[in-house]
Amino acid sequence: MGRTAPTYRTLLEQVLAEWGPYRRALRTVDRANFDRMVNHAREHASAGSNLADLDPTTPIMLSVLLAHEAELVRLRRALEAHLEDGVDKEGEP
């Protein structure tokens, strides 16, 4: 019998384990940022498993980029709303 191919989630955790030495070498603040970043890949694991790619780092990076884009959009909207509130209250920019 042939071997079963590992799931994307298994591959994801293997890649993250391989990145462990890099993570441990980071400063504490960067380590926390790194952990948040790789958690985005975990959050999008279902989508990543649908990408037929032999290299699991591709969907990992796409997941991180997607999360960063969503955060940028959220911040941009919040800034625009804040600026609009300032114009409405003061009557000028």
SS3 for 46? helix
Establish how many alpha carbons lie within 13 A of residue 32's alpha carbon, considering only the half-sphere containing its beta carbon.
Answer: 2
pLDDT digits 0-9 by tens, 17-60: 999 999 999 999 999 999 999 999 999 999 988 877 668 888 89
Which token pair is 14? 């293997």
Cβ contact 44:51 at 8 Å? no
User: In terms of pTM, does the model score above 0.75?
Assistant: no
**Residue 91 backbone class (left: φ over 0; alpha: ψ -120 to 50; beta: rest):** left
The domain segmentation of the chain, as residue ranges, is 8-90
Evaluate if residue 93 carries a pLDDT over 60.
Answer: no
Residue 63's SS3 state is helix
Query: In the predicted model, what is the mean pLDDT of the chain?
Result: 88
Q: What is the pLDDT of residue 92?
A: 56
